[in-house]
Structure 1
């Protein structure tokens, strides 16, 4: 483990030295970035049929899985977790109500895996209700907040992607002004190179992407990539598969290997804790 840590430390130092030699306000890097934008409305916490986990629970399992794979495969990538439709507000400069930045854009680490894990299951739902709550929704404000997260990063990132997880196809309940604001901010993000994907989840009555989200998401990058999917995800396996298919370059380890990844990370955490005590 000491050799592994030393390898990454030397690799990081060399890359930071190369970045420091570049002129200008921004540094060029080979890092990818991913923002999870997650709906925290009450509808997300409704359990599925036959004991299936809630949409929120499934989303947190996916977030944890991605954090885990990032630590192993591409630990210098940047990942963020942002909730919208919350009662509480927490974001840079506290500019936006009902938007909660749980993790800002930064490298994944053991603490973030633990944070995501704590939001899973019934205990996680109670923690989310206490820490976040459910309130009004302005997806435009949430997208604006995400744009600020990107603007605060002084790196020219290789790829920028934002994934929206929600079970509500009409998040503003027909409020035309909020719909227009969200479309405007989505357009602004896409103009800066951010790819917006929709990970829509099942709800009673189905999910109609044409109501609102068709104008929010980015078109496919190429003929080989899936575009906007019409059918919502109703199982964890479906959601994991859709996230993985969106771009293989973000997830070098397939989700079917997560038990192995979890064991690797668990061993790594135990080693780190043991080292810190010596």
Structure 2
């Protein structure tokens, strides 16, 4: 049995909403199980007829490039740390069309790479899902994200030869393909009674707390 908890954070936004008051980082959803209210909000944000006004009201009108991915990852880590529940699987999914988020700013790049390493050391997985747009046709992991994901040269070649997707249904397949078994949070024994010959029927159910934070790059192209 799996219990899914998720949160959503945007970085590169004009407005900010987070406990550290980091600029250009907006926590849309804290860690919690999916609810009808959250689903309705996401549906409104994805409505092609009204999303621009809804989006701008929440996050601001302009795209900021003065964000820090290190601070965005730190915000994710803080959500995990402050969760009242014991979390067995902790993952950060980064959705972005920008393969070099800090350009030539070496300091910000180093900070983000070190933060990703620190997360890996404490068992928090980071994964990247490239999103192509009408103007962005290629995503090159070597520019930056090879170090974030700690990819070997062979893994890098494989990633760069894969076809990144901007289609939601293909993206969902990629997300689901990341599911894999981990150590159970607990095991619950269940008794189903006895058979006609007196044999006890018993089984056990493993419980997993699977927690994902979706980290979205704010791109309004």
Fold match by TM threshold 0.5: yes
Q: Which whole-Å deviations, capped at 9, do the CAs of 1:213-263 have from their partners, x for residues lacking one?
A: 11112669xxxxxx973331132232121111111569xxxxxxxxxxxxx
Q: How far apart are residue 181 of structure 1 and its match?
A: 0.8
Q: Is the 8 A contact 1:79 1:105 kept in 2?
A: yes
Evaluate the alpha carbon distance shift between residue 237 and residue 156 of structure 1 in structure 2; reply closer, same or farther with a 3 A threshold: same
Query: What secondary structure, in the 3-state scheme, does the structure 2 residue paired with 1:92 have?
Result: coil
Q: Which runs of 5+ in 1 are unaligned?
A: 1-72, 221-226, 251-278
Q: In 2, distance between residues paired with 1:239 and 1:125? A: 22
Structure 1: which 4+ aligned runs deviate by more than 3 Å?
A: none
Corresponding residue number in structure 1 for 2:165: 233
Corresponding residue number in structure 2 for 1:125: 52
Q: How far apart are residue 110 of structure 1 and its match?
A: 1.1
Corresponding residue number in structure 1 for 2:101: 171
Corresponding residue number in structure 2 for 1:180: 110
Q: Is the 8 A contact 1:161 1:194 kept in 2?
A: yes
Q: In 1, distance between residues paired with 2:16 and 2:33? A: 23
Query: What secondary structure, in the 3-state scheme, does the structure 2 residue paired with 1:79 have?
Result: strand
Q: Which whole-Å deviations, capped at 9, do the CAs of 1:121-146 have from their partners, x for residues lacking one?
A: 33123311221132133111100111
Q: In 1, distance between residues paired with 2:126 and 2:177? A: 14
The structure with more helix, counted as a fraction of residues: 1
2:77 matched to 1:147?
Answer: yes
Evaluate the alpha carbon distance shift between residue 240 and residue 228 of structure 1 in structure 2; reply closer, same or farther with a 3 A threshold: farther
Corresponding residue number in structure 1 for 2:147: 215
Within the candidate set 83, 90, 102, 1:160 is matched to 90
Query: What secondary structure, in the 3-state scheme, does the structure 2 residue paired with 1:121 have?
Result: coil
For the aligned residue pairs, the C-alpha RMSD in angstroms reads 2.4
Larger Rg: 2
State the aligned residue count: 170
Where do residues 18-57 of structure 1 align in structure 2 (5 Å cutoff)?
A: none
Query: What secondary structure, in the 3-state scheme, does the structure 1 residue paired with 2:132 have?
Result: coil
Query: What secondary structure, in the 3-state scheme, does the structure 2 residue paired with 1:155 have?
Result: coil
2:36 matched to 1:110?
Answer: yes
Q: In 1, distance between residues paired with 2:122 and 2:84? A: 14
- TM-score scaled by length of structure 1: 0.56
Evaluate the alpha carbon distance shift between residue 249 and residue 108 of structure 1 in structure 2; reply closer, same or farther with a 3 A threshold: farther
Corresponding residue number in structure 1 for 2:26: 100
Q: Which runs of 5+ in 2 are unaligned?
A: 183-221
Corresponding residue number in structure 2 for 1:264: none
